[in-house]
Amino acid sequence: MKFRGKIWKFGDNIDTDAIIPARYLNTWDPQALAAHCMEDADPLFMKKMRPGDILVGGENFGCGSSREHAPIAIKAAGIACVVAKSFARIFYRNSFNMGLPIFESRELWGLVEDGAEIEIDAGGGVIRIVGGATEPLHIQPVPPFMQELIADGGLMNHIAKGKAK
């Protein structure tokens, strides 16, 4: 898996109410949710972003509610992947289960601003800042079980494959 895109940077503790406010949870239609993605963190976000862009967060990204609507909204908005210093655990689980690529890097956040372009080589475990002089940054290794989930295409496919064995 490789990604190349412009980044949008957010701070620490971006909660699921900021990613998709609960007032919009009377639907789970991905496109309807995407229309309000990141609305309470940056009301203009959906006007500014382009499909393929990458979200960069600080500590504890996706804290708060268990709503899977959060990774669904991000994915449906066209965000390619999320890189954060750390992720809240239910958001982390949900992302792998439903197929939103997420990566942990403690260094990236301090080295980039909005509009910077980065390249992620998930297989190689590195992030490069395009045009940046810095050495490639190492992504926290993804545990083998989570890699299996991704390779199988999410939790339900993983379960189906297990049953087929």
- Cβ(13)–Cβ(58) below 8 Å: yes
Q: Minimum distance from CB of 18 to other proteins (Å)?
A: 6
Strand order across the 117-121 sheet:
102-104, 81-84, 54-57, 2-9, 117-121, 126-129, 137-138
Record the tokens describing residue 124, joined without a space: 């190689």
Site for other proteins, rule CB under 8 A = 13, 15, 17-18, 21-23, 25-28, 39-41, 43, 59-60, 63-69, 72, 86, 88-90, 93-94, 97-98, 143, 145, 154-157, 159-160
Shortest CB 120 distance to other proteins, Å: 23
Nearer to other proteins by C-beta: 18 or 120? Answer: 18
Q: Which is nearer to other proteins, 27 or 134 (CB)?
A: 27
Q: Up-side HSE of residue 89: CA atoms within 13 Å toward CB?
A: 0
For residue 43, count CB atoms less than 10 angstroms from its CB and return exposed for 0-12, middle for 13-18, buried for 19 or more.
Answer: exposed
Task: Give the residue with the Cβ less far from other proteins, 23 or 48.
Answer: 23
Question: From CA 66, how far away is CA 16, in angstroms rounded?
Answer: 8
What's the min distance (Å) between Cβ of 123 and other proteins?
22
Residue 82 CB, nearest approach to other proteins (Å): 15
How crowded is residue 147: how many other Cβ atoms within 10 Å of its Cβ?
14
Q: Which C-beta is closer to other proteins: that of 46 or that of 126?
A: 46
